[in-house]
Amino acid sequence: MQSTPAEQRYGTHLGPEPWALGPQPNKESEPLRTTKMRPDFHQVLIERPRGGLRIKRQPLPRLRVADWDGEDFVEPALPRARRTKYFDDLIGPLRKWLRKQVNRPWDKVYSELCATIDRRTTVGEHLLDHVRMEVTVRCERDADGRLINIESRWRNEVEGLYVDPKSGILRWKAQISRRQYQQQVRRQQRERLRDVRKLADDRLLQRIDGIWFELVVSQIYLSRYLSETKLKSTLANMNKPFVSNPYGHFEVINKHQLNRRELRQHGLSNR
C-alpha cells in the first residue's frame, strides 16, 4: 500500500491525523515563532526604502585663483538634488510586538528595547517616546479598586497596555468603545441624579450618606485656570463646605436636614 504524503512526513501513528490538528512545524526547517526583537527593528519603524531616480550629478570643476583672467563669470544655478531617503512612523509593528510581551516582566521587555535601540540618538529617543505613549508605566489603584494613571493630569482610568504596580508585569486591559463609554457616563449621571433635586438656582435637595438635606448654595464655574481639584483644595483650606453634582459645583452657604413632613412633601425617603 502506497503511503500518503502526510505519512511520509509524520509517519504512521495512532490517534487523529496530523492535518486534523493544524499545521505542525518542522523542527529542522521551520523554527517555532518567537517574540524576540529583530536587530533592525528601529529601521522597520522609522526608515523607509529609498525612492526616486538613481541619477548621479556630475561634480563641477573647482575654480582656482590662478585660472582667473580678470573677467567676471557667474555659474548658472543648478537644480537642487532630490531627496531619496525619507522617514516615517510605523507604529503598527511596535504595538504588535508589545502585545506579544504581555505577562512578561516589564524590566526585561524594556531591556530588550534598549538593547536594540540606541537611546543616545534622536531616532532611538523618538521610538522610546512612542513606547511611553503605548504603555502606562506609573499607575495605582484608587479606593474603588480602579487602575488610575498617575502620570495623567486628569488621572484617567488605565486602558490598553500597563505595568502592574505590584508585580511589575506587563498587562493588557481591553479598551472600551466610544459607545460603551457614553453609555457608562449616562449611567453614572442617572445614578447621581437620584441623589439630588434642584429646587431653584440657589436651592438644592441632596442626599448625603443616605440622609436628605436642603442646601442653600452659590454656584462656582470652573475654567482653565481653576480645576476641580484646585477648587476643592482652596475651599478646604478656607473651611468652606463644597458639593459637586450633575448640575455643577457649588459652595454650601446653609444646610439643614429634611424632617418627615418635608420628606413626604417631596416624595423622598432616607436610607
pLDDT tens sequence across 123-134: 888 889 999 999
The CA distance from 38 to 57, in Å, is 36
pLDDT above 70: percentage of residues in the chain: 70
Of 237 and 11, more confident: 237
d(CA 265, CA 271): 17
* pLDDT value of residue 17: 43
pLDDT, position 119:
84
Q: Does the pLDDT of residue 98 top 90, yes or no?
A: yes
Q: Which of 29, 35, 38 is nearest to 9 (CA)?
A: 29
Is-contact 96 172, C-beta < 8 A? no
Contact partners, residue 263, CB within 8 Å, separation at least 6: 212, 269, 270
Mean pLDDT of 176-202: 87
pLDDT at residue number 66: 65
Q: Indicate if the pLDDT at residue 142 is higher than 70.
A: yes
pTM beyond 0.75: the answer is no
Among 43-47, 138-142, 188-192, the range of highest mean pLDDT: 138-142
Between β-strands 170-173 and 139-141, what pairing exists: parallel, antiparallel or unpaired? unpaired
